[in-house]
Amino acid sequence: MIPRVLTVAGSDSGGGAGIQADLKTMLALGVHGMSVVTAVTAQNSLGVQGVWELPVEAVRAQYRAVVDDIGVQAVKTGMLASAALVEAVADLLATTEAPVVVDPVGVSKHGDPLLAAEALDCVRTRLLPTATVATPNLDEVTQITGILVEDEDGMRRAAEAILGFGPRWALIKGGHYPGDALDLLTDGHEEHWLRAPRLDNRHTHGTGCTLGSAIASHLARGLAVPEAVRAAKEYVTGAIGAGFALGAGIGPVDHGWRFR
């Protein structure tokens, strides 16, 4: 049976991030992708022009429709926008026996806010405890923990702080850090440092969504967390290298790079 992965996230009308990026990644990695739309955005290569949240009951109905009938082998969360949506999704995840990848999306690639300030406490106390792997970038680390990461020791402190909220593993994404693209994966006992060369390509829209959905896809296929994250890192590095111009701003990574 083809593994099934559910993404719970916002849309991207430009197609480079959000649910669209998640589903492209899942298709490329050989799993059946399904979606729960939490918000609709007007978004392109230049930024986010508008966000409209879906009602909690619509999100809950989508989730139950998929999980109760089709079932899932992994779930990935992305943009949840409000405290009400974070709480509802956390309640749903608590009823689902599958690995969960939480991408605590706070801002877009262009710096546009995608999470209400009042939702941060719900992310800390309700959403992160459901995560098999939490995947904050450095901006989201600061948003959630107050820690400003400036070196590898800062990444360790950030991981410890994130793990303090309850996820089994923390993946601190150092894509905004100078030098190589360095990430730290840890469960508080073992550390895995993942390095990749920093590629000279500005078209990186959707990297966080792509990495999170790649991790979920590999978990659904039965890989352990360290192996799933390493495989996802290799996939997203190739997608960044093949990123292409689309529109007048930051273009998307190429989810189908292996097939070109």
Residue 207 among the catalytic residues: yes
- CB count within 10 Å of CB 10 equals 27
- Find the catalytic residue in 10, 16, 175, 206: 206
Question: What is the C-alpha separation between 218 and 231, in angstroms, rounded?
Answer: 8
Residue 145 among the catalytic residues: no
Distance between alpha carbon 134 and the CA centroid of its chain, in Å?
Answer: 8
Residue 24 among the catalytic residues: no
| Cβ-based neighbours of 189, under 8 Å, separated by 6 or more | none
Classify residue 159 by its DSSP letter: H
Which is nearest to 77 in space by CA: 153, 149, 132? 132
| Secondary structure tally for the chain: helices H, strands E | 8, 9
> Cβ distance 24 to 255 under 8 Å?
yes
9, 116, 118, 127 from 86: Cα distances, Å: 11, 10, 11, 7
- Find the catalytic residue in 204, 237, 243, 251: 204
Helices 56-69, 83-93: axis angle to 10 degrees equals 20
- Find the catalytic residue in 18, 78, 208, 212: 208
- CB count within 10 Å of CB 151 equals 9
- Sign of CA pseudo-dihedral 57, 84, 63, 34: positive
Residue 173 among the catalytic residues: yes
- Find the catalytic residue in 38, 41, 132, 209: 209
- Find the catalytic residue in 33, 173, 174, 243: 173
- Find the catalytic residue in 38, 186, 207, 210: 207
- Two tokens, residue 229: 């994250």
**Residues recognised as catalytic:** 173, 204, 206-209
